[in-house]
Amino acid sequence: MGVACTLSCGQCSYNKNVFLGIGFRYISLQAILEWYEEEEGRKQIIEYINKKEPIYECYDGLYLCQNCNYILNKTYLHLEAGSQSYMNSYSCPRCRDKMPSKPLENETEINRLKCPECKCSNLKVEFYMDWD
């Protein structure tokens, strides 16, 4: 099950709603293919669906740009079958640097996020909904 939360800054007007985790649409590669938007990822999903015993990890997460502190809420997708693997990647919408290969791992990391706008304080994280 996924959760939704609001990230807000007490010093400036930064406010962002984010969705984290998984839902029923993540239950199989066929289900993910129905909604996954990025073209290269779609091609890879189709290829891995036809492989013997593919392993996958897919969830919504937060990526933090190491250059400008931009917070990106996007889907993480990692596929493996035998010796082959694929992992999606993103560029920062603000500075165009490559985002980290994996999103933040846990709630502790999310609670330590600095405001990407004013950089003055940690963001307040308020969980407000479970989703699936």
**Could you give the CA distance from residue 122 to residue 101 in angstroms, rounded to a whole number?**
23
For residue 28, pLDDT over 90 is answered with yes
Instruction: Give the per-residue pLDDT at 120.
Output: 86
List the structure tokens of 47: 């290829």
- How much is the pLDDT for 52? 86
Residue 124 Cα to chain centre, angstroms: 19
- Residue 58: is it exposed, middle or buried by C-beta count within 10 angstroms (0-12/13-18/19+)? buried
pTM of the predicted structure, to 2 decimals: 0.92
Mind listing the pLDDT tens digit for each residue in 74-113?
Answer: 999 999 999 999 999 999 999 999 999 999 988 889 999 9
